Structure 1
Amino acid sequence: MRLAILDDYQSVALDYAPWEQLAADGVEVTVFTRQFRDDDDAATGLRDFDIIIAMRERTAFGRERLRQLPGLKLLVTTGMANQSIDLQAAEEQGVVVCGTGGSPAAAPELTWALLLAFARSIPFEDGRLRAGRWQSTVGFELAGKTLGVLGLGKIGTRIAGYGRAFGMDVIAWSPNLTDEAASQAGARKVSKDALFRESDVVSVHVRLSERSRGVVGEEELRLLGPTGIVVNTARGPLVDEDALVRGLEEGWLGGAALDVFDVEPLPAGHRLLSAPRTVLTPHLGYVTEESYRQFYGGAFEDVQAWLRGSPIRLLTPAVANGAGTSA
């Protein structure tokens, strides 16, 4: 039986779980450090694997890609939700899909790091200092500013807490947010338009779906205005990327601190790479030692449980009875 660990960009997957123990079950582990170019490339590379470990949405498993992998029996995603896996197609094909736990602190901490880096021009000043220059920008303080939290779930609630700790006024909006829930998180519920009109900074923390795709469009970005900043560590397509770039280039948007993009990895020559007033990171929100221990450790547990016929953390429960080496 063959197991593939995908998209190990940092070549660290084998350090975070005792994969060698699977040899006793006759499982051969192969690690892929590169992305697949397309469905055909993935089909060629993964055709002979029974088990696949996917790192978040780095490699998608839509209906067509799954169809090209008829020998696949177990697909594990890190985290308990993955928009790039077609769960219905997996279920129809008899593929068991399991998830893992994750770190609740990793993404919120990066969000705040991006905001602080933008506020004090840290990447720019770091480069200038290494080039022999001294003090070329004037930053701004977060204290006294208004933080708008778009999506007050687990991550958004942490961000609201960070904002209060830095002396910010915190407001929030999401489609189903109540006044009581906002108050419990230390925020004030406002309308969507008010969130962008009143905020100095808007941080995006809603889950990507067809309903939420493009939830931050040109209208919202123009309300945020020439001094406003948008921070996105959730998913790229939540923000209209074309409108965002135009706002930065034309000057009607103050700035952007981004960890996520429509296409990842971000292609060479992309307009965002040369857009002014930006701080960019390569989807590092979940990339911490603590997070990887949960991701890879949980994936290892999922594989062990499946091999023993009792899969855990199922995302396709209807095919659970097909679990194990006899599947």
Structure 2
Amino acid sequence: MMASVVRIVVPDDDPVALRGTEIEERLGRLGELVIHDSLAANPSELTARLKDANVAINIRSSSPFTVEVLSACRHLQHIAVLGVGVDNVDVEACREKGVLVTNTPGHSTDAVAEHAIALALAVARRLTENDRAVREGAWALHPIIQLSGKTLGVIGAGPIGRRMAVLGQALGMKVVAWTFNPTMQRTEAMGVPFVALDELMAISDVVSLHLPISDKSRGLIDAHKLSLMKPDAILVNTARGAIVDERALAGMLQRGEIGGAGLDAYTTEPLPAGHELGGLDNVVLSPHNAAMTVDAGIRGLEMVAENIEAWLAGKPTNIIV
């Protein structure tokens, strides 16, 4: 039975996304709102923060909603995730325990697609390398790559993948795509042809990943798939690090078997200091912040509030489980 006053807990508002916004006031009107402005150091601390919560607003994917955490939080009824991916939530355990999980699909579509294009352009134009050289007094005029007229391969046909295809076409690129489940309806929605994955890897000048993490997608872009890429091709990953064999990618980039990579997601996050990817001039790195535009953040928080309001009204929306 739900408490007379709903206790809504944000265990991970770091860096600050919710505090001080209009959405904080809106959520405060729904019940007792508690915001923690630091990340929990471990699952035990996360559990302590959530032990009396009816609703958990999950802002950062570093918060692990494991079966152990869920078992200890006996009052928890709703996990409202800010974002699309829920790989940090044990969805099956939530199903068994009757905990609703919702997300915010589409809130960051434009933000992530724009970031993927930015990474592709930064690698193609060697922006970080040239910026550093100019600041150091050098004036090395290395050849750079023009994307217009090249082929963009989009892996994933969800909203972000579809937006990426549009942006690629706006740059004058030929776009092809791949998805686990190609259908005529998806082809029409995508507006570009689907091809086999090996073919996409082989013909694309830029390969951009837009898949959720799952048993099927984990390790999908392995050493063999990477070996099919052109020697001057660029891999862009704004999805999840575990989709790519990171060690194989780093080795091929070091040996010049792949032209470059623009990465916003990694197998281990934050990327460890001294990681081999950090020492490569043909790699542009960002801290998994593709979705963290002001506009996307506001819309995502609005959707979190809408999901909680709908649940309280007995009509839950954006249900994962």
Deviation at 1:234, TM superposition (A): 1.3
Higher deviation after alignment, 251-260 or 153-162: 153-162
Deviation at 1:98, TM superposition (A): 2.8
Deviation at 1:255, TM superposition (A): 1.2
Question: Which of the numbers 67, 71, 76 marks the counterpart of 1:72?
Answer: 76
Aligned to 1:323: none
2:99 is equivalent to residue 95 of structure 1: yes
Aligned to 1:40: 44
Higher deviation after alignment, 217-226 or 23-32: 23-32
Q: Provide the C-alpha distance between the structure 2 equivalents of 1:51 and 1:191, rounded to a whole number of angstroms.
A: 43
2:186 is equivalent to residue 175 of structure 1: no
Question: Which of the numbers 75, 86, 90 marks the counterpart of 2:90?
Answer: 86
Match of 1:53, SS state, is strand
Higher deviation after alignment, 122-131 or 239-248: 122-131
Question: Which of the numbers 257, 263, 285 marks the counterpart of 1:252?
Answer: 257
Amino acid across the alignment from 1:93: K
Aligned to 1:14: 19
TM-score of the superposed pair, with normalisation by structure 1? 0.86
2:187 is equivalent to residue 187 of structure 1: no
Q: Provide the C-alpha distance between the structure 2 equivalents of 1:204 and 1:162, rounded to a whole number of angstroms.
A: 14
Aligned to 1:140: 145
Aligned to 1:238: 243
TM-score of the superposed pair, with normalisation by structure 2? 0.87
Deviation at 1:257, TM superposition (A): 0.6
**Residue-by-residue CA offset, 1:169-222 (whole Å, 9 max, x unaligned):** 222222322477446634333222111111111111222210111111111111
| Structure 1 residues 142-157: aligned runs within 5 Å | 142-157=147-162
Q: Provide the C-alpha distance between the structure 1 equivalents of 2:185 and 2:23, rounded to a whole number of angstroms.
A: 45
Q: 5+ unaligned residues in a row in structure 2: which ranges?
A: 1-5
2:62 is equivalent to residue 58 of structure 1: yes
Aligned to 2:164: 159
Q: CA contact under 8 A between 1:73 and 1:95: conserved in structure 2? A: yes
Q: CA contact under 8 A between 2:13 and 2:35: conserved in structure 1? A: no
Q: Provide the C-alpha distance between the structure 1 equivalents of 2:185 and 2:8, rounded to a whole number of angstroms.
A: 47
Change (3 A) 1:121 1:316: closer
Deviation at 1:265, TM superposition (A): 2.1
Q: Provide the C-alpha distance between the structure 2 equivalents of 1:20 and 1:81, rounded to a whole number of angstroms.
A: 26
Match of 2:22, SS state, is coil
Deviation at 1:126, TM superposition (A): 2.3
Q: CA contact under 8 A between 1:214 and 1:237: conserved in structure 2? A: yes
Cα RMSD for the two superposed structures: 2.5
Amino acid across the alignment from 1:82: V
| Structure 1 residues 19-30: aligned runs within 5 Å | 19-23=24-28, 26-30=31-35
Deviation at 1:226, TM superposition (A): 2.3
Q: CA contact under 8 A between 1:151 and 1:173: conserved in structure 2? A: yes
Q: Provide the C-alpha distance between the structure 2 equivalents of 1:294 and 1:144, rounded to a whole number of angstroms.
A: 34
Q: CA contact under 8 A between 2:23 and 2:301: conserved in structure 1? A: no
Amino acid across the alignment from 1:74: H
Aligned to 1:207: 212
Match of 2:35, SS state, is strand
Aligned to 1:4: 9
Q: 5+ unaligned residues in a row in structure 1: which ranges?
A: 318-327
Change (3 A) 1:247 1:175: same
Deviation at 1:75, TM superposition (A): 1.5
Higher deviation after alignment, 143-152 or 46-55: 46-55
Higher deviation after alignment, 244-253 or 172-181: 172-181
Amino acid across the alignment from 2:209: V
2:70 is equivalent to residue 49 of structure 1: no
Where in structure 1 do 4 or more consecutive aligned residues deviate above 4 Å? 21-26, 178-181
Q: CA contact under 8 A between 1:213 and 1:238: conserved in structure 2? A: yes
Deviation at 1:272, TM superposition (A): 1.9
Q: Provide the C-alpha distance between the structure 1 equivalents of 2:259 and 2:7, rounded to a whole number of angstroms.
A: 50
Amino acid across the alignment from 1:84: N
Q: CA contact under 8 A between 2:85 and 2:213: conserved in structure 1? A: no
Identity %: 35
Q: CA contact under 8 A between 2:7 and 2:52: conserved in structure 1? A: yes
Amino acid across the alignment from 1:237: A
Question: Which of the numbers 118, 125, 144 marks the counterpart of 1:120?
Answer: 125
Change (3 A) 1:141 1:23: closer
Amino acid across the alignment from 1:171: V
2:109 is equivalent to residue 104 of structure 1: yes
Q: CA contact under 8 A between 1:43 and 1:68: conserved in structure 2? A: yes
**Residue-by-residue CA offset, 1:51-100 (whole Å, 9 max, x unaligned):** 31112523221212212322323321124552222233123324333333
Q: CA contact under 8 A between 2:12 and 2:60: conserved in structure 1? A: no
Aligned to 1:321: none
